[in-house]
Structure 1
Amino acid sequence: MQTLVICIDRDNDIGEKAGIKTPVIGRENNIEAAVKLATVDPEDSDTNTIFGGIKVLDDLRKRGVDAEIVSLAGDKNVGVISDQNISRQLDELLLEFDVKSSIFISDGAEDETLVPIVQSRVKIDSVQRIVVMQSANLESTYYILKHAFSDPKISQTFFVPIGLAAIIYSLSLLANYPEGAIVGILIAVGIYMLYRGFMLDDKLALFFDQMKSSIHSGKITFITYLSAVLVGIIATVQGVVSVWAYYVEGGIWYYGTLTLFTLFINSSVIWYVLAGLVANTGKVIDRYVNGLPVKKSVSHAFFITSVGSLLWGASMYLLSITLDGEFVITPESGIQYFVYSIILAFILSLIGIKISLDTIRKNRMFE
C-alpha cells in the first residue's frame, strides 16, 4: 500500500455514540460508520472528517495511487488514555499493511496534537483539516456557543469554577460569615486551576483505568492502589488537623503561611510515603507473579523513601526555628535531624540508582 488516509477521532465519538469499534478499514466500512454516526448525532464533526477522508481517498485513486482509508478512535477521557488507544491501533495496522506514507485527516487542532505520534510511525505527506462552513449571522453564533457549552470538555472548564464560587458564597451567607467567602472561593478555584493545570484529570483517568484493569485481571494492585488512596486521605486529614490546631490558636498572621505549610508537610509526609510504598508493593508483587523483572520497581521504593526523608528532616528543622519554644525539638536538634535525613536520603538514593543500573545492564545483555 502506497498511501494510507488516516481519520482521527480522539474523543471516540464514533464508539461512544454509534457503538462502532475501531479501527474502521476500507471505503465502504467508513461510509457505513459515518452514516451511522450522522444518524445518531447529525451535528458531530467527526462525520465530516470521515467523509473528508473518503474524498481524499477517491482523489488519490483517480490519480492511480494505491491508497486505503482507516478511521482511528481514542477514548472519551481525552489525553494519555485516548492517545495510547490510537497508538496501539495504528501499530497493529502497520504490522498488517506495508504503508509507505499517510495523509492525516482531522476536524480541528485537538486531533492534530496526534500528528507527532502518527509521524513517529509513518511518514505524513499532508495534514487536512475538515472545516464545516457556517453562516456568520447572530443565530449561527448563538448556535455555535450553545453547542460549545454542551461539550463536557468546555463546560467543565467554564462552569465548574463559577459553580464552586456560587456554592461557597451561598454557604458563607447562610453561616453569617460572608468574609470567609473570599478565602473559600480563592482556595476552591485555586485547587481547581492546579488540578487542571497539572492535568490531574488525565492522571486520574489513567489511574481509574488501571484500577478497572486490575479488577478484571485479578491483580493485587487493585487492593494496594485502593489502600494507597485511603492512606493518602489519612495523610491529608492528618496534615489539615495539625495546621488547623495552630491556625485556631494564633491565626495565619501570627504563624505565617510558610510555617503552616511546613507543619502540614511535617505531619503528613510519612503517611504519603507509606501510601507510595503500598502502591509500589502491589506493582512489585504483580510483576513477580507474571514473571517480569521487579528490580526497577523495587528501586522506586528507595527513591520515594529518600524524598520523604528529605522533606521530613527539612520540615523538622524549619519548624524548630519558626516555632522556637513551641515545637517538640530545639533548633540545635532540628539541624541534626536535617543532616541525618540528608545522609539517609543520599544512602537510599544510591541504593535505588544501583538497582536501576543493574536492571539497565541486564536488559542490554539480552538485547
Structure 2
Amino acid sequence: MQTLVICIDRDNDLGEKANVITPLIGREDNIDAAVKLATADPEDSDSNTIFGGVNVLDELLAKGLDAQIITFAGDKNVGVISDQKISAQLDAFLSENEITNAIFISDGAEDETLIPIVQSRIKIDSVKRIVVKQSANLESTYYILKNALNDPKISQTFFVPLGLAALIYAIFLLARYPEGAIIGISAAIGMYMLYRGFNLDQPFALLREKMKDSFYEGQMTFVTYTIAAILGVIATMIGAVTLWQYYITGGSWYYGIVTLITVFINVTIWWYVIAILFADIGKMVDQKISESFTIKEISPALFIIAIGLLFWGASTYILSVSAFTGDTTSNELSLQYFVYSVVGAILIALLGIKISMTSPSPEKLPKKGKGKTKK
C-alpha cells in the first residue's frame, strides 16, 4: 500500500451518534459507518467527509494506484484528549503497514488542525476540504444559525455567561440586595472569561479522564483527589465568608484591596496546602503499589509546604501592619513569624532539592525478575 486517504472525525461523532468504533479501514467499512452516521444525524458533516474520502479513493484506484482509505475519530473533549487518541490510532496503523504518502480529507478548519500531527508521521500530498453546498437565501441563513446555536461547543460559549448572569441577578434580588448583583455578575463573568482565555477546559478535561481511569482501575488517587477537591471547596467558602465579613463591616475603602486579599490568603493557605498534599499522597501510594515509587516523589510535597509557609508568614505580617491592628508588640511578633517562615521555607526547599538530586529515577531502579543469573 502506498497512498492512504485519511478522514478525520476529531470530536468523535461516529462513536457518540452512530456507535461506530474507529479506526475504519477499507471502502466498505467507511461507507457503512457514513450511512449509520447520516441516518443518526443527517445534518452532521462528518458523513460527507467520509463519502468525500471514498470518492478520492475511487479516483486513485481508477488510475491504477495502490490506495486505501481509513477514518480516525478522537473524543468529544476536543483538544489534547481527542488528538492523543487519533495519534495513537495512526501510530498503531503505521506500525503494521507501509505507507509512503497520504491525502488528508476534512470538513473544516477544526479537523485540519490535525495536519501537523499527521504530517510528522507521514508525507501528505494533498488536503481536500469537503464543503456542503447550501442555498444562500434568508431561510437557509436562519437554519444555519439555529443549528449552530444547538451545537454544544457554540451554545456553551454563548449561553453560559448569559445564564450565569441572569441566575446571579435573581439570587441577589431574592436576597433583597440588588446592588450586589453587579459585583456578583462581574466576578462570575470575569472568572468565566479567564477560564476560557487561559484554555482551562483542557486541563479540567484531562483531570476528569484521569479521575475516571483511577476510579475504574481502583487507584488511591480517586479517593485522595476527591478529598482534595472537598478541602479546596471548604477553603474557598471559609475565605469567602471571612472576606465578606470584613467587607461589610469596613469595606475596601477602609481596609484596602490588598489587605482583603491578604485576609483570604491567610485563612485559606493551609487548607489549600493540605488539599494538595492529599492529592500528592494518593499519587505516591499508587506509585508504591505499582513499584515505581522513589524517594524523589517526596520533593513536590516539601516544596508545597515551603510555599505555604512563605504565604502564611507574609500574609500574617501584612495583616499586622495594616488597619487590622496597631499594636507594636504584635507587629514585632508577626515580623519574627515572617522571618522564621522564610528561613523554614528555605530549609524545607533545600531538603527537597537534596532528595530530588540524590534519589534515582524510576527507570534506573532494578526491576524484579531481571538481572538474576541462573545457578
Tell me if TM exceeds 0.5: yes
Residue equivalent to 1:154: 154
Does the CA contact (< 8 Å) of 1:105 and 1:130 recur in 2? yes
What is the TM-score when the length of structure 1 is the normalising length?
A: 0.91
Question: Shift of residue 344 of structure 1?
Answer: 3.1
Distance (whole Å) between structure 2 residues aligned to residue 197 and residue 260 of structure 1: 26
Distance (whole Å) between structure 2 residues aligned to residue 34 and residue 273 of structure 1: 51
- 1:186 match: secondary structure: helix
Residue equivalent to 2:196: 196
Residue equivalent to 1:71: 71
The within-5 A match list for 1:108-147 is 108-147=108-147
Paired-residue identity, %: 60
Does the CA contact (< 8 Å) of 1:320 and 1:329 recur in 2? no
Single out whichever of 97-106 and 258-267 deviates more from structure 2. Answer: 97-106
* Structure 1 residues without counterparts, runs of 5 or longer: none
Kindly provide the amino acid, as one letter, of the partner of residue 322 in structure 2: T
Distance (whole Å) between structure 2 residues aligned to residue 50 and residue 328 of structure 1: 76
Question: Shift of residue 338 of structure 1?
Answer: 3.2
Does the CA contact (< 8 Å) of 2:294 and 2:360 recur in 1? no
Does the CA contact (< 8 Å) of 1:227 and 1:278 recur in 2? yes
In the alignment, does 2:43 pair up with 1:43? yes
Distance (whole Å) between structure 2 residues aligned to residue 116 and residue 356 of structure 1: 36
Distance (whole Å) between structure 2 residues aligned to residue 289 and residue 361 of structure 1: 17
Single out whichever of 357-366 and 302-311 deviates more from structure 2. Answer: 357-366
Question: Shift of residue 53 of structure 1?
Answer: 1.8
The structure-2 alpha-carbon separation of the partners of 1:334 and 1:126, relative to structure 1 and needing over 3 Å to count, comes to farther
- 1:11 match: secondary structure: coil
Distance (whole Å) between structure 2 residues aligned to residue 279 and residue 81 of structure 1: 22
Residue equivalent to 1:80: 80
* Structure 2 residues without counterparts, runs of 5 or longer: 367-375
Single out whichever of 65-74 and 118-127 deviates more from structure 2. Answer: 118-127
- 2:325 match: secondary structure: coil
Question: Shift of residue 319 of structure 1?
Answer: 2.0
CA deviation vs aligned residue, 1:299-352 (integer Å, no higher than 9, x gap): 222232233233223222322222352699844344443333333333333343
CA deviation vs aligned residue, 1:172-197 (integer Å, no higher than 9, x gap): 33443322221111111112222222
In the alignment, does 2:208 pair up with 1:205? no
The structure-2 alpha-carbon separation of the partners of 1:65 and 1:231, relative to structure 1 and needing over 3 Å to count, comes to same
Kindly provide the amino acid, as one letter, of the partner of residue 95 in structure 2: L
Kindly provide the amino acid, as one letter, of the partner of residue 92 in structure 1: A
Single out whichever of 318-327 and 124-133 deviates more from structure 2. Answer: 318-327
Question: Shift of residue 138 of structure 1?
Answer: 0.9
Distance (whole Å) between structure 1 residues aligned to residue 322 and residue 122 of structure 2: 59
Residue equivalent to 2:372: none
Residue equivalent to 2:102: 102
Question: Shift of residue 126 of structure 1?
Answer: 3.0
What is the TM-score when the length of structure 2 is the normalising length?
A: 0.89
Distance (whole Å) between structure 2 residues aligned to residue 293 and residue 26 of structure 1: 45
The within-5 A match list for 1:169-318 is 169-318=169-318
Distance (whole Å) between structure 2 residues aligned to residue 235 and residue 311 of structure 1: 15
Does the CA contact (< 8 Å) of 2:6 and 2:104 recur in 1? yes
CA deviation vs aligned residue, 1:75-121 (integer Å, no higher than 9, x gap): 11222222222222122222222223333222222222222332333
Distance (whole Å) between structure 1 residues aligned to residue 327 and residue 55 of structure 2: 73
Kindly provide the amino acid, as one letter, of the partner of residue 258 in structure 1: V
Q: How many residues align?
A: 366
- 1:17 match: secondary structure: helix
Question: Shift of residue 362 of structure 1?
Answer: 6.9
The structure-2 alpha-carbon separation of the partners of 1:252 and 1:69, relative to structure 1 and needing over 3 Å to count, comes to same
Distance (whole Å) between structure 1 residues aligned to residue 148 and residue 35 of structure 2: 23
CA deviation vs aligned residue, 1:205-261 (integer Å, no higher than 9, x gap): 222222221221111111111111111112112211221221122112211222111
Residue equivalent to 1:344: 344
- 2:321 match: secondary structure: helix
Does the CA contact (< 8 Å) of 2:293 and 2:362 recur in 1? no
Distance (whole Å) between structure 1 residues aligned to residue 4 and residue 227 of structure 2: 46
Single out whichever of 7-16 and 164-173 deviates more from structure 2. Answer: 164-173
Kindly provide the amino acid, as one letter, of the partner of residue 39 in structure 2: T
Distance (whole Å) between structure 2 residues aligned to residue 171 and residue 92 of structure 1: 53
Question: Shift of residue 296 of structure 1?
Answer: 4.8
- For the pair shown, which has the larger CA radius of gyration, 1 or 2? 2
Distance (whole Å) between structure 1 residues aligned to residue 107 and residue 294 of structure 2: 43
The structure-2 alpha-carbon separation of the partners of 1:125 and 1:313, relative to structure 1 and needing over 3 Å to count, comes to farther
Kindly provide the amino acid, as one letter, of the partner of residue 47 in structure 1: S
Q: How much is the aligned-residue C-alpha RMSD, in angstroms?
A: 2.4
Single out whichever of 167-176 and 271-280 deviates more from structure 2. Answer: 167-176
Question: Shift of residue 5 of structure 1?
Answer: 2.1
Distance (whole Å) between structure 1 residues aligned to residue 307 and residue 20 of structure 2: 46
- 2:319 match: secondary structure: helix
The structure-2 alpha-carbon separation of the partners of 1:336 and 1:116, relative to structure 1 and needing over 3 Å to count, comes to farther
Distance (whole Å) between structure 2 residues aligned to residue 101 and residue 190 of structure 1: 47
